[in-house]
Structure 1
Amino acid sequence: MTSIIKLQVFSGAKDEGPLCYLLQIDGDYILLDCGWDERFDTKYIEELKPFIPKISAVLISHPDILHLGALPYLVGKCGLHAPVYATVPVFKMGQMFIYDWIYSHKDVEDFQHFSLEDLDLAVERVEQVKYNQTVVLKGDSGVNFTALPAGHMLGGSIWRICRVTGEDIIYSVDFNHKKERHLNGCSFENFNRPHLLITGAHHISLPQMRRKDRDELLVNKILRTVRQRGDCMIVIDTAGRILEIAHLLDQLWSNTDAGLSTYNLVMLSHVASSVVQFAKSQLEWMNEKLYRYDSTRSNPFNLRNVHLCHSHDDLMKIRSPRVVLCSNIDMESGFSRELFLEWCTDSRNGVILTGRPSNFTLAAKLVNLAENSADGKLTTDERFLNLTVKKRQPLDGEELIEYRRRKAERDAEETRQKMERARRQAHIMNDESDDSDDEDSLIITSNHQKLGHDQKDDFHNSDVHCFDIMAKWDNQQKQSFFKTTKKSFPIYPYLEEKVRWDEYGEIIKLEEYTVAPLKDIVVKKGKDDQVIVKKESEEDMEHEYNEHDESVEVEEMPTKCVEYKYRVEVVCRVEFIEYEGISDGESTKKLLAGLQPRQIIIVHGSIQDTRELFAYFKDHGVAQGKIDAPAIGQLVDASVESFIYQVALSDALLADIQFKEISEENGLAWIDARVVEKEAIEGLTALSITDQHQHQQSSSDLNNEENGEEPMDQTEQIPTKERIRGNLILDILPNKQIPCHDAVFVNDPKLTDFKNVLTEKGYKAEFLSGTLLINGGTCSIRRCETGYFLLEGALSKDYYKLRHLFYDQFAVL
């Protein structure tokens, strides 16, 4: 049995942007990654929206923003309800990436794309898996998938997607076969000639250094900066590659011979402490050397020499010179951009970039300048950069006055609503009270909230205690038929609370049993002397008061978001050392060629990298079938058979079908129908792809790009009236056109079972040399060598009755 396999590319093809691909296996849709970047481009998400209700599962390969950045938006804003599968470290570190991303933008602007609540909804959709754990897709499609180690980042996965029909699909992007300090490399030994390989060509054409040389170069550049009393900034991601460098530098700082202990090592991000805590608890996902440490050693990620900072103020408390690992790696937001604007004007400082982000980012510009510079020093022409600066600044002048006026109006409105709710609540409590004897009870409203014990002692000096006392005698007394001379006047406010009970007795209020903080006890000695016994410090009392008193609110300084252009002169050293943790080009080619896949789809890589990998596969005949390098928005048909179509049954044909039951919940039917094309389809019902020109399209696009020409539009090459897969339907065939067909007997009955049936019907049946004799041999049934049954006997009524009984053991179509 064959399958229809298609891949729709929404983002991450022939560029280095976020990854997002939709894989169709027959009627199941699997979303492979859903990344985003600093551009927050919703174009590809709008194209993905029509398919969101049909998505059966989402597979996340890595925890960084390029692989899962759009997940909160898809869940919170687009209504994605499919389960999301990721390994445990990808689940935890992915949250750290997005939290840091959100807070980095909230520090300088009003971030509106998604909220923390959307992130919480997305987290609830994630189902955590382990390596080599097979997960079966919900439904009866028979699709299952398995996560295998990919290296690169903690928990990174290569996804193997299988179907019961035997087709294996390998989704492998951003993998690393080399063993690192904290991660093992990936392995392709368990893959045997997959039907389809979806892989990336990210930085396949760029050279890489040996790990030993790279580490030595990093240490030398750090030492050169800090020894001249400058600060060194290492631009790295939030919770991925930062673990490799942090572990390396912590070991160097622990070595007394290195002479680095006099300098401060800092990890700066909004979630630095959480990242370290998660790393401590996930050693089983790391290198064996880290996992199998003896009891005498401490956890490798204790990072005793690393200061964890979460704000710019925390960093300022640490003296220079400092080595700061800060996010984000693209330098479009976060502490890396903030520190660069602050430190780049000092020639003693240094900036070390560790990755190559997309071309539009500040980090990509600095990488290009660093590779063309002489020992990190930029030339005079390259020093000046025009940057967009976003920041929050406090309000002042008329803006501050207007803000306070609006805030006062909002507070007054909130106070009025609270008082109104309190009045209604007092009415309800008075009506429910069973112990009240006074019909003209007072309605008491208090606008104060619950205070601490210290404030209760100073009740007479507090201005916040204010009561509204309204007597029912005035305007709210109950009307009665009989006159009464009794009148009610305002009195001291008192409202007797009704004692409430549950199944265990009276409900205890914990606040009534809270011990008040002890104050200073003054003991007098003599006339003028006195001794003060201090029970608690004023700071402790103030801290405890703030903890228990919910009414105390620290008023935040009102701010506004500003954005302006800024021309900055880069005087510091800017250098690049590759720490991305991705396999080099030569190793990648050999590893993928050893898989011997039948089909290959190349995604996620620049045009140059994609062209190089495409040419290598073509020249070496790696794939037995076709090789595709689709562009964004293109659809690739990777079905097992070339001529396989997906059709739907019409309602009229479905109502006319007569099923023959062959077993419990299983039936068969013979259908005579014709294939017709649907007249009109509203919306997208399937991933549509034409029968022809699709393979030629991807190949010709790549050839045109090699010649410097723009690829032709797919809609211009394919006729609009051409038949489309997934747009066919089976309809009723007219009776005059239905051909005759031989009867089909479905089932394999046993003669022993048929003997029991004959016995129940009153026939005499016995076996003789493998032949079933009926009624003393007047009829006999035996199975010949070809597997057919032979019924022999004289033509009579009994013969036809026996034949009819034997036919009932089959489903005859």
Structure 2
Amino acid sequence: MFTFTPILGAAADDDKSLACQSLLTFDSNVRVLIDVGWDDKFSPELLNELERLTPTIDLILLTHATVSHLGAFAYAYKHFPGFDSIPVYATLPVINMGRMVTIDAYATAWFTSRPSEPFQISEVDSIFDKIHTLKYSQQFSLNAKLSSLRISAYNAGHSLGGTIWRLQYGQEDVLHAVDWNHAVERHLNSSLLLTSPESFNRPTALINGARAGSSLRKKEETLANAVARGLAKGGSVLLPTSTTARALELCHFLDAYWTEHKLTEIPLFFVSRTGSRTMSYARSMLEWMSSSIVREWEEKGSETPFVFKYLKVVSSEEEVISVRGRKVIIASGQGLEWGPARNVFAEECSAEGNTVVFTQEVDHESLGGQILNAWKLATDAISDDVKFGRISMQKQLELRRSVPLEGEELQKFLDAERERQAFAERQTAIDIKNRTLLDQEDLSESESSDSEDDEVTVDGVEEKLDVGVLILTQTEDVFDYDVRGAKTLKNKMFPFVPRRIRKDAYGEIIRTEDYLRAEERDEGKLSGKDENDVAWNEEIGKKRKWADDQDEEKVVVIPSKTVVEKRLVTVRCEITFIDFEGLADARSIQMIIPQLQPRKVILISGTTQQSESLSAGLRNAGIEEVYVPEADTSINASMDTSAFEVTISSELAKLIKWQDTAGGEYSVAQIKGKLLRVEQLAKDNSTAAADNADDQTDTNELELLPITTKQEHATAAGLTKPVMVGDVRLAELKRRLISNGHRAEFRGEGMLLCDKQVVVRKLDNNEILVEGGVGKEFYEVRKIVASFLAKIT
């Protein structure tokens, strides 16, 4: 049994947010949460249902590195009890880029300026490090309660590492495909839904996003013309975008456009608080990108993609705002509610010569959504594909920015930090002491003298320290220890242990990190904090490297705080919208989904109008069961079958003749039995039985019948010929034929030509047809095809 419940992202009117949270429930009460999205305003009330359901969730899967898909993940991880114990899976790019968009968004989120909702940005890295990594097409089975569930990740397009999730549980084969793209882009391949639809083998349920991109052709050319139009008026052009999902495509395209047209006199910026680190991640994950990116890397030689010639990556909006005259700014924060885009917009929107180009759909309630709604009304009469217009609007904006701590605030922060470090060190020493006391009970007498000391790590170096000594303060030149519990006289005299060289049976222990090449060391930094990016709330006085593409310098990171400034702004700039979101258009969706032959389709993540339009198109294409669920409404999308799960004993399993299907994915056999229903007996008292009617449950029991002959068995089962069970995948069949000495090549969709004499076709109903003249090749090919199937007689 399978039920689907949209927590966030159900079809609604135009005032909905883009946040996605979907709950999938399988038999045995296995619950899987897909996406932990949030809206651009970070509304706390949207997370109430997620907090309530947290104790019941068994698994979390993440699809895209955007606020609408994982914006609430770090917040829930810290604030919702039990959320941190749920296993989480995602692809490597979603993990890396997800931490970047989270840091960028949380820097100006509503809870950063509220003492009642503290959140240290430095915690984001450690939270995302807890996520388990999966590769594309990797089938993964879980343990314990989830042992019957298999999950697989497939390329979705739209964003780097974006994922279509396939979940297989018993007879249920569920495909979760929200926000995917069928087109190849500069740095992304197309979704596997288009390139290999047969890989999904007729899912029992397809959960698909109703949001679709526009059918506008030559989008890059259209966007370039819009930017050129804005520059021709002598003003600046602002392009709000998501931190990682679409920013990479925009940055790569515009830098190439600047290079082609040699626009050396016009500054081109990408402003994001995690910009340089985002580009470092992108350069380290080329294997997740399109082949054109790899070719570009090979053609450039020593240079790598996302090392830009004209585009300058900056982390502060002040650096962009200070540049006067013509300029183009790509700024993170597509809805103008968080990120540098909001502050840049507040500075640039009042000049009539400036232009704001929205390239993505945004939340209706966000500042960007309000502006776009007003723009649509103002340009409704314009029939052009790309509409430019002005709106008359005044807005009171709250602008958040980070300022360094000074004076008394800085001193209080330093005192609190020292106290926190001292408490952590004392607690570590106590934990080590307690652990050692327990371990000493199992040590032999010969080892008892060594057990008085235990290893601790100080400044990254393992040393011997008496665990009876409590560390009160330890800085570079000050050692304050409580030695009253020390076990040795030496430590009571002076509790300092010099650093020792560690040795094992082969000599001095070698630290492999000391011998890494420079590029390997840089790649290693990508899994943690990056030296090339200024972060918030970092270690006090820690020296880090500020990396620009042109020069480098040493800086000291000073603790900062978020301050809120209210400003009245008047919008006078020109507004336009050009779809650059990387989503499949509605017509393509209606053509591709029927090829998957899903038994049921569930539409989410769209407005009511979008869902109804797509639903009608899919029904016209032959899909009868299409559902558009409302928020918190469960849809029973189970496979319509009368099959039952039966547990057989190991003794019976040994007597059954098992047959492997293609690739050994599973084995099948046939047993004959009679299904008996055993009902729980009611109590003698009829009144008590009525009161307890709701507590009565039904169970099923299988009574095996005596073994019969094959003929009797076939007659009893109503079979006149053997039944072939399994699925033949033509790509695997081609490899098997070649390995057996045959020649095989594809000749059109669903047709494999073997030895230039035999044709193997896969029909629409997944049946296999072998055609050819009678001869040795025909029978050999037919035998190999039959080896993929199990024959039940």
TM over 0.5: yes
Q: How many angstroms does 1:41 deviate by?
A: 3.7
Q: Corresponding residue for 1:152? A: 158
Q: Could you tell me whether the CA contact under 8 Å between 2:175 and 2:206 is conserved in 1? A: yes
Q: How many angstroms does 1:314 deviate by?
A: 3.3
Q: Corresponding residue for 1:300? A: 305
Deviations 1:462-493 (A, max 9, x none): xxx9xx9xxxxxxxxxxxxxxxxxxxxxxxxx
Q: Corresponding residue for 2:326? A: 321
Distance in 2, matches of 1:31 and 1:323, equals: 39
Cα distance change, pair 641–622 in 1 and its aligned pair in 2 (3 A) = closer
Q: Corresponding residue for 2:364? A: 359
Distance in 2, matches of 1:409 and 1:325, equals: 34
State whether structure 2 residue 587 is matched by structure 1 residue 586. Answer: yes
Q: Could you tell me whether the CA contact under 8 Å between 1:354 and 1:578 is conserved in 2? A: yes
Distance in 2, matches of 1:391 and 1:413, equals: 24
Cα distance change, pair 730–92 in 1 and its aligned pair in 2 (3 A) = same
Cα distance change, pair 349–413 in 1 and its aligned pair in 2 (3 A) = closer
Q: Corresponding residue for 1:630? A: 629
Q: Could you tell me whether the CA contact under 8 Å between 1:198 and 1:600 is conserved in 2? A: yes
Q: 2:284 aligns with which of 281, 295, 302?
A: 281
Q: 1:11 aligns with which of 8, 12, 19?
A: 8
Q: How many angstroms does 1:615 deviate by?
A: 2.1
Deviations 1:735-782 (A, max 9, x none): xxxxxx99856789xxxxxxxxxxxxxxxxxxxxxxxxxxxxxxxxxx
TM-score scaled by structure 1? 0.61
Q: How many angstroms does 1:163 deviate by?
A: 3.1
Q: Could you tell me whether the CA contact under 8 Å between 1:646 and 1:728 is conserved in 2? A: no
Q: 1:315 is matched by which residue type in structure 2?
A: V
State whether structure 2 residue 35 is matched by structure 1 residue 29. Answer: no
Distance in 1, matches of 2:86 and 2:620, equals: 41
Counterpart of 1:168 in 2: which secondary structure? strand
Q: Corresponding residue for 1:513? A: none
Q: How many angstroms does 1:670 deviate by?
A: 10
Cα distance change, pair 408–182 in 1 and its aligned pair in 2 (3 A) = closer
Cα distance change, pair 674–186 in 1 and its aligned pair in 2 (3 A) = same
Q: 2:392 aligns with which of 365, 383, 387?
A: 383
Q: How many angstroms does 1:633 deviate by?
A: 0.7
Matches within 5 A, 1:530-569: 561-562=563-564, 564=566, 566-569=567-570
Q: 2:121 aligns with which of 116, 119, 131?
A: 116
Cα distance change, pair 412–87 in 1 and its aligned pair in 2 (3 A) = closer
Matches within 5 A, 1:637-716: 637-641=636-640, 673-675=678-680
State whether structure 2 residue 612 is matched by structure 1 residue 611. Answer: yes
Distance in 1, matches of 2:674 and 2:649, equals: 5
Q: Could you tell me whether the CA contact under 8 Å between 1:200 and 1:603 is conserved in 2? A: yes
- Alignment RMSD, CA only? 4.9
Q: Could you tell me whether the CA contact under 8 Å between 2:542 and 2:556 is conserved in 1? A: no
Q: 1:269 is matched by which residue type in structure 2?
A: S
Q: Corresponding residue for 1:192? A: 201
Matches within 5 A, 1:572-583: 572-583=573-584
Distance in 2, matches of 1:406 and 1:548, equals: 18
Q: How many angstroms does 1:352 deviate by?
A: 1.1
State whether structure 2 residue 218 is matched by structure 1 residue 219. Answer: no
Q: Could you tell me whether the CA contact under 8 Å between 1:370 and 1:576 is conserved in 2? A: no
Q: How many angstroms does 1:124 deviate by?
A: 3.3
Q: 2:108 aligns with which of 104, 107, 113?
A: 104
Deviations 1:565-624 (A, max 9, x none): x5422222222111111111111111112222211111110011011122223344313x
Q: How many angstroms does 1:219 deviate by?
A: 2.0
Distance in 1, matches of 2:169 and 2:41, equals: 37
Q: Corresponding residue for 2:462? A: none
Deviations 1:58-80 (A, max 9, x none): 22111111111121133222222
Deviations 1:140-178 (A, max 9, x none): 64321211111111111111222343x321111111101
Deviations 1:333-368 (A, max 9, x none): 221110111111122222111111121111122223
Q: How many angstroms does 1:287 deviate by?
A: 1.6
Q: Could you tell me whether the CA contact under 8 Å between 1:378 and 1:571 is conserved in 2? A: no
Distance in 1, matches of 2:204 and 2:337, equals: 40
Counterpart of 2:697 in 1: which secondary structure? strand
Q: Corresponding residue for 2:293? A: 290
Alignment size in residue pairs: 573
Q: 1:208 aligns with which of 212, 215, 223?
A: 215
Q: 1:182 is matched by which residue type in structure 2?
A: H
Q: Could you tell me whether the CA contact under 8 Å between 1:253 and 1:260 is conserved in 2? A: yes
Q: How many angstroms does 1:47 deviate by?
A: 2.5
Q: Could you tell me whether the CA contact under 8 Å between 1:63 and 1:156 is conserved in 2? A: yes
Q: Corresponding residue for 2:445? A: none
Q: Could you tell me whether the CA contact under 8 Å between 2:42 and 2:109 is conserved in 1? A: no
Q: Could you tell me whether the CA contact under 8 Å between 1:10 and 1:44 is conserved in 2? A: no
Cα distance change, pair 572–659 in 1 and its aligned pair in 2 (3 A) = closer
Q: 1:386 is matched by which residue type in structure 2?
A: K
Distance in 2, matches of 1:37 and 1:368, equals: 17
Cα distance change, pair 145–391 in 1 and its aligned pair in 2 (3 A) = closer
Counterpart of 1:24 in 2: which secondary structure? strand
Larger mean Cα displacement after TM superposition, 190-199 or 315-324: 315-324
Q: 1:634 is matched by which residue type in structure 2?
A: T
Q: 2:59 is matched by which residue type in structure 1?
A: A
Q: 2:346 aligns with which of 338, 341, 345?
A: 341
Distance in 1, matches of 2:72 and 2:541, equals: 38
Q: Could you tell me whether the CA contact under 8 Å between 1:109 and 1:390 is conserved in 2? A: no
State whether structure 2 residue 173 is matched by structure 1 residue 163. Answer: no
Q: Could you tell me whether the CA contact under 8 Å between 2:42 and 2:110 is conserved in 1? A: no
State whether structure 2 residue 89 is matched by structure 1 residue 85. Answer: yes
Deviations 1:532-555 (A, max 9, x none): xxxxxxxxxxxxx97799xxx989
Q: Could you tell me whether the CA contact under 8 Å between 2:269 and 2:312 is conserved in 1? A: yes
Counterpart of 1:144 in 2: which secondary structure? strand
State whether structure 2 residue 738 is matched by structure 1 residue 729. Answer: no
Counterpart of 1:224 in 2: which secondary structure? helix
Cα distance change, pair 723–176 in 1 and its aligned pair in 2 (3 A) = farther
Q: 2:5 is matched by which residue type in structure 1?
A: Q
Q: Tell me the percent identity.
A: 26
Cα distance change, pair 359–304 in 1 and its aligned pair in 2 (3 A) = same
Q: 1:96 is matched by which residue type in structure 2?
A: M
Distance in 2, matches of 1:743 and 1:308, equals: 71
Distance in 2, matches of 1:676 and 1:75, equals: 46
Q: Could you tell me whether the CA contact under 8 Å between 2:5 and 2:635 is conserved in 1? A: yes
Distance in 2, matches of 1:56 and 1:77, equals: 18
Q: Corresponding residue for 1:239? A: 244
Q: Corresponding residue for 2:67? A: 65
Cα distance change, pair 117–671 in 1 and its aligned pair in 2 (3 A) = farther
